């Protein structure tokens, strides 16, 4: 087991893999069981999965709330039980199908209402999560309750959709489709906790035609992009090692103001002591990354009037017991 593995691993998840699959492969490749993730992706989805390895798992708490960017394809024409292509279509009467087909043909010729509907779903909104989601209801995951045949009505919650940008809709006639449909490619930038599946559902509902997600790819989590990620194929082949990990200090410096420590300050902070600085030279911060001269992330601290308080410390298995080397 590699006791020194410590950092953040960016993985480009492939379709069909669960987030648990990715974590399991990473544990095997890196030789450690201490690996967690900063938010899952559905098996159907691809793209950026952020893993924490070793002591850096403590950073995950501060990564899960970051904004995210997705590329999605939404099919307008009918909804599904799961709000994506993996669930069965919701039932419709024949007269409803005829009306939807007429409406789809109208939107294909004059798509302005599609863009207007997306605009209405932009900004600070109240969103009802997809029923088939990981949200717990009375101690059980919503998707377990739905699969057991229960009818759930989840409560809406506030989310922020910073951008819901659509390309021009295109007509599709998929084999087995209940009606003619429109596919729309979208770029979504949103707060953590936003369900893109629910956006697809609500877009279709507002247009009176139903909608569901047919493809989803996460491209960014906060300042981190999928372009810098390793592939699941490389993980599975054992081609990923500790060299692929982002150093905790580098990650923290992307997210928070940096507090450079002296060797003695690094020792003291590592022991949980509060440090005092000149308030005129150190601005208040909810979180700051306290970094030792060696480049090691000692902790995340709150700063008030020049005084620090440790929020999260980051011991490393190979760190000297008396602080960092001079």
Mean pLDDT for the chain overall: 89
Task: Round to whole Å and give the CA distance between 194 and 158.
Answer: 9
**pLDDT tens digits for range 11-52:** 999 999 999 999 999 999 999 999 999 988 999 999 999 999
Provide the token pair at 76: 């307008």
Per-residue confidence at 256, pLDDT binned at 50, 70, 90?
very high
3 state SS of 232: helix
The two domains 7-64+223-244 and 68-218 share their CATH topology (first three levels equal): yes
Instruction: Tell me which architecture the domain covering 7-64+223-244 has in CATH.
Output: 2-Layer Sandwich (3.30)
Return phi, psi of residue 192, to 5°.
-60, 145
Average pLDDT over residues 124-150: 66
Cα angle 95, 97, 102 (rounded to 5 degrees) comes to 100
CB 19 within 8 A of CB 13: yes
Check pLDDT > 90 for residue 267.
yes
**Which CATH number fits the domain 68-218, given the four candidates 3.40.50.300, 3.50.50.60, 3.30.2350.10, 3.30.70.260?**
3.30.2350.10
243 contact partners, CB below 8 Å, separation of at least 6:
none
Of 295, 286, 80, 269, the C-alpha closest to 177 is 80
Per-residue confidence at 133, pLDDT binned at 50, 70, 90?
low
For this structure, is 318 an active site residue? no
Q: Where are the beta strands (DSSP E) in 202-318?
A: 211-221, 224-225, 230-231, 258-260, 285-291, 297-304, 307-313
Q: How many residues does the chain have?
A: 326
Average pLDDT over residues 255-259: 96
Task: Round to whole Å and give the CA distance between 172 and 101.
Answer: 12
- pLDDT at residue 218, rounded to an integer: 98
**218 strand-pairing partners:** 47, 70
Match 């990354």 to its residue by tokens.
289
85 contact partners, CB below 8 Å, separation of at least 6:
44, 75, 212, 213, 214
**pLDDT tens digits for range 51-82:** 999 999 999 999 999 999 999 999 999 999 88
Average pLDDT over residues 116-135: 88
Task: Round to whole Å and give the CA distance between 231 and 216.
Answer: 17
- Domain 248-313 belongs in CATH node 3.30.565.10: no
Cα angle 10, 60, 57 (rounded to 5 degrees) comes to 85
**pLDDT tens digits for range 185-204:** 999 999 999 999 999 999 99
Least confident range of 111-120, 169-178, 305-314? 169-178
Check pLDDT > 70 for residue 140.
no
Higher pLDDT, 1 or 141: 141
**182 strand-pairing partners:** 76, 171
Catalytic annotation, pick one of 2, 12, 21, 42: 42
**pLDDT tens digits for range 90-105:** 888 878 888 999 999 9
Task: Round to whole Å and give the CA distance between 226 and 169.
Answer: 26
Of 185, 75, 167, 189, the C-alpha closest to 123 is 189
- pLDDT at residue 248, rounded to an integer: 96
Over pLDDT 90: what percentage of the chain? 75
- Strand 7-13, strand 35-37: pairing: unpaired
Least confident range of 1-5, 90-94, 278-282? 1-5
For 74, 120, 270, 325, the CA distances from 297, given in Å and listed in that order, are 42, 43, 10, 14
Over pLDDT 70: what percentage of the chain? 87
- pLDDT at residue 237, rounded to an integer: 92
Average pLDDT over residues 298-320: 85
Predicted TM-score of the model (pTM): 0.89
Domain positions in the chain are 7-64+223-244, 68-218, 248-313
């Amino acid at each position: 087991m590699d006791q020194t593995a410590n950092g953040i691993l960016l993985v480009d998840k492939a379709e069909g893999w669960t987030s648990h699959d990715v974590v399991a492969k990473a544990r095997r490749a890196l030789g450690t069981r201490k690996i967690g993730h900063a938010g899952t992706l559905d098996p159907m989805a691809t793209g950026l999965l952020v893993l924490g390895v070793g002591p850096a798992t403590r950073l995950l708490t501060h990564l899960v709330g970051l904004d995210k960017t997705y590329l999605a394809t939404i099919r307008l024409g009918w909804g599904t039980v799961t709000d994506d292509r993996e669930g069965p279509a919701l039932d419709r009467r024949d007269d409803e199908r005829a009306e939807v087909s007429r409406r789809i043909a109208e939107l294909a010729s004059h798509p302005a209402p599609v863009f207007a509907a997306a605009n209405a779903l932009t900004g600070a909104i109240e969103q009802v999560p997809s029923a088939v989601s990981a949200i717990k209801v009375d101690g059980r995951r919503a998707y377990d309750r739905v699969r057991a045949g229960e009818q759930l009505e989840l409560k809406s919650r506030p989310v922020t959709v910073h951008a819901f940008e659509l390309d021009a809709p295109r007509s599709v006639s998929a084999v087995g489709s209940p009606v003619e449909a429109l596919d729309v490619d979208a770029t979504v930038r949103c707060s953590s906790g936003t369900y893109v599946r629910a956006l697809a559902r609500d877009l279709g509902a507002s247009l009176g035609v139903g909608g569901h997600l047919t493809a989803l790819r996460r491209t960014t989590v906060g300042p981190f992009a999928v372009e810098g990620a390793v592939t699941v194929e490389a993980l599975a082949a054992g081609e990923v090692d500790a060299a692929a990990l982002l150093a905790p200090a580098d990650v923290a410096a992307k997210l928070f103001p940096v507090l450079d420590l002296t060797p003695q300050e690094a020792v003291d902070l590592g022991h949980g002591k509060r440090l005092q600085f000149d308030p005129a030279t150190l601005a208040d911060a909810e979180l700051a990354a306290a970094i030792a001269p060696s480049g090691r992330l000692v902790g995340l601290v709150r700063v008030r009037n020049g005084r620090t308080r440790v929020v999260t410390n980051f011991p490393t298995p190979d760190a000297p017991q008396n602080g960092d080397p001079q």
